[in-house]
Amino acid sequence: MHLYQGVDLIEIDRIKTAHDRQDAFGKRIFTEAELAYCNLRPDPYPHLAGRFAAKEACLKAFGVGMGGFGTLARFQEIEVESMPSGKPTLLLYGSMEKMRKRLKIAQVTVSISHADSFAIATVVMLGAAMGVEEG
């Protein structure tokens, strides 16, 4: 088995500024379900920042990161869903789900936290294959 791990830390104000400056920002980065969940909160920005960090951490765990063609589209292929207990989970779609299958990743966990002006997320994946293979 192989372990894949990613972490991301972001300033909540960066997400607030981007969201307030560009109306389309939220729709490019977050799914409709994520926006609906966060917008129900009195202050949606810590929750949006946490989800942004989780998406970045997921890309890092896959070894993709923010560079390269199509990265923004991949944000829509990673969705953070909250269980009734509040525990976050990741749902993967499109190329992200294909990569999960190619790496034979059986388990994906995410942890999100926010305090004061920062949000942080870690993603850990357990898989059978090592590295991304072309195919």
- Whether 60 sits among the annotated catalytic residues: the reply is yes
DSSP string, 65-131: -S-STTHHHHHTTEEEEE-TTS-EEEEE-HHHHHHHHHTTEEEEEEEEEEETTEEEEEEEEEESS-S
Nearest to 8 by CA among 125, 127, 126, 112: 112
The question of whether 47 is a catalytic residue gets the answer: no
2, 47, 60, 87: which is the annotated catalytic residue? 60
Active-site entry in 19, 47, 55, 114: 114
Active-site residue list: 60, 114
